[in-house]
A and B are shown apart, each in its own frame.
Chain A
Amino acid sequence: QVQLQESGPGLVKPSETLSLTCTVSGGSISSYYWSWIRQPPGKGLEWIGYVYYSGNTNYNPSLKSRLTVSIDTSKNQLSLKLSSVTAADTAVYYCARELFPYTSSWSAGLWGQGTLVTVSS
């Protein structure tokens, strides 16, 4: 059974870089499209980035200048780096995967449990 687990600092200072890792267990990161999606406390969802295992990336235009999403197939990990963070970047960050390999339906069928990142000095 494939599981996704987000990890990283729970507190980041303003203007610094938020870095998160999603570790995939029970299956391979290859052959799938992967996403980062976030949710500010008490608010709705925002899709951050969508990346194929081969490295082809698609970013939310509102975050593109600050965002890097990458995949390390050797470690079976997906990563997120968001620079110059502000309080508006405080959110639960989820990694997610398409349901089927080699398929881009722009949906997230498998989710991690999410990790709360707070931006504060």
Chain B
Amino acid sequence: QSALTQPASVSGSPGQSITISCTGTSSDVGNYNLVSWYQQHPGKAPKLMISEGSKRPSGVSNRFSGSKSGNTASLTISGLQAEDEADYYCCSYAGSTNFVVFGGGTKLTVL
């Protein structure tokens, strides 16, 4: 059982927007602005898409955006493209005692 809760799967058609939620607690997501999101294609290493809640690294499409409200972080992908089909993981710093926690991952299917 993962510390952060993500939907197991989401889907959308090309051009649409989807949002993946990541629910934690006041000890992790709600207490730190240190949520990151990773995209992972089969057989590949994860790729950082969002850090510190909403910062997009250089080279990551501006179709990807991150936000947070209370204990829930969200990743929104607009203008869905076939290449966005992948697994997505959220992650949050959880303090010196609990370290870092991941969500269980969400499989995005582009219909």
Contact = CB atoms under 8 A, between A and B. Distances in A.
Interface in A43-100: 44-47, 50, 58-61, 94, 99
Contacts of B100: 47, 50, 60, 106
B96 interface: yes
Contacts of A45: 38, 46, 89, 91, 102, 105
A15 interface: no
A106 B46 contact: no
Interface string B64-106: 0000000000000000000000000101110011111111110
A38 B47 CA distance: 14
B98 A61 contact: yes
A35 to B, nearest CB: 9
Contacts of B57: 99, 109
A52 to B, nearest CB: 14
B36 A105 contact: yes
B99 A105 contact: no
Contacts of B98: 61
Q: Report the contact-size class of chain A (Cβ under 8 Å from the partner).
A: 20 to 34
A94 B36 contact: no
A47 B99 CA distance: 8
A37 B52 CA distance: 18
Given A44-B105, A45-B91, A46-B102, A105 B96 contact: no
A34 interface: no
B93 A114 contact: no
B45 A105 contact: no
A108 B91 CA distance: 10
A49 B96 CA distance: 12
A52 B105 CA distance: 27
A113 B46 CA distance: 9
Interface of B: 2, 32, 34, 36, 38, 45-48, 51-52, 55, 57, 89, 91-93, 96-105
Given A44-B103, A112-B45, 8 more contacts: A45-B38, A45-B89, A45-B91, A45-B105, A47-B101, A61-B98, A107-B34, A111-B45
